[in-house]
Structure 1
Amino acid sequence: MSDHDCSTVTYGYVDPNWPRPDTGDSACIIIYGYVPSLALGTLGVVLFGVALLAHLWLLIRRRTWYFSTVVVGLVMEIVGYAFRLLASQRNPYAVSYFVAQYFCIVVAPVFFSAAIYTIVSVMIGVVGRKYAPLSPRVILWVFIVCDVVATVVQITGAALVGRAYSDQKDPDTPNNVLLAGLAFQVFSFAVFVLCFCVLVYRARKAMGTDLQVFSAAVMVATVAVYLRTCFRLAETAEGLLEYLSTHEVFFGCLEFLPIVVAVYVLVWWHPARWVKKG
């Protein structure tokens, strides 16, 4: 028998075509607000899998070990979407599937952000420190630390949200913890984007054509990752089980798609192929 009595639950989404499994890991509602899509889960595993192979090949061939964080992030994306596949096919009520996919999909972009911080640090070394508002080391470590702190807070909040739903408790407090982590991440990343823009503007005449094109491409990847973070903030600020969080189309267009764009932009405009030409 399940550890929870769900007979009195009056809020949240329950799929009439998918009876809740009578297991201790099953929440009384589907925490996603919908049954995760088989198609989106499959696309996530396939597209991030292809990107992983491409980045691994470039990493080994070009020996750009400083860019290995992208590989770590892609592995986490694949695992995250694999858990969404499990939820869509086996048990969308499972708290463990929800927490695992949330953990992986939320943490993965931190590794892409770290790669972007590294790119900008390398660019400063190419064009000259005088054009940058901060030193390469400060840019690299300050923003990485900010991302780590923000992500730890988010994961803590997400885990508490999942447990609150499983135990039929009020999830508002853990959601506020999650919101605080996202707000801090949006702020810190905005500061980084500003630093990147200042560098590109000041160094525009010192850059060759290739480096200018590369900078524009990296900016596209940066904005894509930032868009995804802003979506997560808006979704959480609106509240649990509200419109943004309960319609998978928003997840697909504003979480999945921006990260796909970012990782594939960084395949073609890989720093090993462009930065040294600057």
Structure 2
Amino acid sequence: MSAQGHANGYVDPNWPDPNGSQDAPVIIYGYLPSFALAVFAVLLFTLSLVLHAYQIIRYRTIYLATIPIALILELLGYIFRSLSARQDPYSVIWFVLQYFFIVTAPVFLSAAIYGVLSVLVNKVGRQYSPIPPKVLLGVFISSDAVMTVVQICGAAMIGAAESKTKDPTTGKNILMIGLIVQVVSFFVFLILLGIFLSKSKKVLWDQQGKKAFIVALVSATVLVYLRTCFRLAEVAQGVKAYLFTHEDFFACLEFAPIAGAMVMFNIFHPGRFLRKEAGEAIEATSEEVKG
């Protein structure tokens, strides 16, 4: 599809000039979003959602309830993205909403990953973990939650500035702060995960079927981290720079990593491998409360 430049950003000659009260004078995405990608994402995340809901009920893994929440948010994000692609790519509201849902969703996926590690630590032994499971959950979930709010505020400010053809630098800086802290925080988590897996290697890998699950857990965690690093690089370049204005990067480094992690947890669902571990983790928590 052809495109043309604009003094303040991207416009598409195949779409009429924006005239709605909620329209920006340019397409904030920097391109016309792919309707095919949005529809494919909706279908894939819907299938994954149905499977995850079934697996959580079947294996009674309530600590993974944040994954369906993440999938619902992804669905909403790509639905609004599809509306941008087919009805009005200039709409500021649809841009902000799709960004809000797609940026927020991985936080709930990360929370599930933190929960899985917490269960593993409780089962295998706390002596293998640098920090207690409760501290791990509290610190990283709180950090993700706060930094996601910061990112959403920054993105909203960017959208508002672009809609009025004003300088989005303030919003960009706020968004950058949230992403930098999130990248550093998740990197620390990766280190803690690596230490735990290294120290408990003999215990974990001797158990039947655990190798494939551990590889899947690490792979999913790295995919989420890759996606976060991409978002940081994208914002660091700027909303009108190469990474932001080319959807191929979004598809390969935003959609694909999260979709891959979700599907990986469908195939190697923690409930199949940690059923006893989850029960023992609950028992251990109950004993601590009683004590």
TM-score, normalised via structure 1 length: 0.95
**Is the 2:18–2:24 contact (alpha carbons within 8 Å) kept by the matching residues of 1?**
no
**Is the 1:20–1:26 contact (alpha carbons within 8 Å) kept by the matching residues of 2?**
no
**SS in structure 2 of the partner of residue 206 of structure 1:** helix
Cα distance, 1:17 vs structure 2:
1.0
1:269 is aligned to: 268
Mapped pair 1:205 → 2:202: yes
Cα distance, 1:136 vs structure 2:
0.5
Cα distance, 1:169 vs structure 2:
1.2
**Is the 1:127–1:203 contact (alpha carbons within 8 Å) kept by the matching residues of 2?**
yes
Question: What is the letter of the counterpart of residue 67 of structure 1?
Answer: L
Cα separation, 2, equivalents of 1:57 and 1:217: 20
**Is the 2:52–2:67 contact (alpha carbons within 8 Å) kept by the matching residues of 1?**
yes
Cα separation, 1, equivalents of 2:17 and 2:134: 51
Cα distance, 1:61 vs structure 2:
1.7
Cα separation, 2, equivalents of 1:99 and 1:72: 19
Mapped pair 1:33 → 2:30: yes
| Identical-pair percentage | 49
2:50 is aligned to: 53
1:220 is aligned to: 219
Moved more, 111-120 or 161-170: 161-170
**SS in structure 1 of the partner of residue 10 of structure 2:** coil
The gaps in structure 1 that reach 5 residues or longer are 1-8
2:13 is aligned to: 16
**SS in structure 1 of the partner of residue 30 of structure 2:** coil
Mapped pair 1:76 → 2:73: yes
2:95 is aligned to: 98
Cα separation, 1, equivalents of 2:132 and 2:210: 19
Cα distance, 1:20 vs structure 2:
2.5
Question: What is the letter of the counterpart of residue 175 of structure 1?
Answer: K
Report Cα offsets for 1:93-143 as digits up to 9, x if no partner: 000000000000000000000000000000001110000111110111100
Question: What is the letter of the counterpart of residue 42 of structure 1?
Answer: V
**SS in structure 2 of the partner of residue 13 of structure 1:** strand
Cα distance, 1:277 vs structure 2:
6.4
1:112 to 109, 113, 135: 109
**Is the 2:18–2:25 contact (alpha carbons within 8 Å) kept by the matching residues of 1?**
no
Report Cα offsets for 1:180-219 as digits up to 9, x if no partner: 1001100000000100000000000111242232111100
The gaps in structure 2 that reach 5 residues or longer are 1-5, 278-291
Question: What is the letter of the counterpart of residue 8 of structure 2?
Answer: Y
1:242 is aligned to: 241
Question: What is the letter of the counterpart of residue 173 of structure 1?
Answer: T
Question: What is the letter of the counterpart of residue 205 of structure 1?
Answer: K
Question: What is the letter of the counterpart of residue 76 of structure 2?
Answer: V
Cα separation, 2, equivalents of 1:30 and 1:75: 26
1:134 is aligned to: 131
Cα distance, 1:275 vs structure 2:
1.8
**Is the 1:35–1:92 contact (alpha carbons within 8 Å) kept by the matching residues of 2?**
yes
Report Cα offsets for 1:6-36 as digits up to 9, x if no partner: xxx6120000111133111000100000010
